[in-house]
């Protein structure tokens, strides 16, 4: 019983230190994600402005908004930027998940330690 409490307190200290230290990876991943998102939107807007007014397959027909979107999404540069954006978003989300798992573990350990303290108080009252 006492060894479990000591182990829980040690783990509590370890998690607290992990969460308290400044984490450059977290903000670096966030900054990379946001800059990739910004670049994707800018390039997509630039390609939208560069889209032809007439349909490349049928010059007698004007391109509609759906045609322009499909043409822009079909550009290789846009597809590569979208793939990069998805990858960076997944890195950011994975880091967030790891952080929240640590916070959940921290809460579970704190509640377990509180329960053990309350149990010892009850036992001491009747001893």
SS3 content of the chain, % helix, strand, coil (to 5): 80, 0, 15
Altogether, the residues listed in the chain come to a count of 127
Joined tokens for residue 120 = 């010892």
| pLDDT for res 127 | 61
| pLDDT for res 82 | 96
Place of tokens 């060894």: 3
Rounded mean pLDDT for each run of 10 residues along the chain, 127 residues in total = 77 82 71 94 94 82 88 93 96 88 88 77 68
| pLDDT for res 110 | 86
| pLDDT for res 43 | 96
* Distance in angstroms (rounded) separating the CA atoms of residues 4 and 10: 10
Q: Can you give the residue ranges of every domain in the chain? A: 2-125
* Distance in angstroms (rounded) separating the CA atoms of residues 121 and 7: 20
């Amino acid at each position: 019983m006492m060894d479990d409490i000591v182990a829980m307190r040690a783990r509590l200290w370890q998690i607290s230190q992990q969460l308290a230290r400044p984490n450059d990876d977290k903000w670096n991943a966030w900054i990379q994600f946001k800059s990739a998102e910004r670049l994707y939107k800018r390039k997509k807007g630039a390609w939208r402005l560069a889209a032809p007014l007439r349909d490349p397959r049928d010059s007698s027909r004007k391109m509609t908004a759906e045609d322009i979107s499909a043409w822009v999404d079909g550009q290789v540069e846009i597809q590569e930027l979208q793939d990069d954006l998805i990858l960076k978003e997944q890195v950011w989300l994975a880091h967030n998940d790891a952080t929240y798992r640590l916070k959940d573990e921290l809460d579970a350990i704190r509640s377990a330690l509180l329960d053990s303290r309350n149990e010892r108080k009850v036992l001491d009252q009747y001893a």
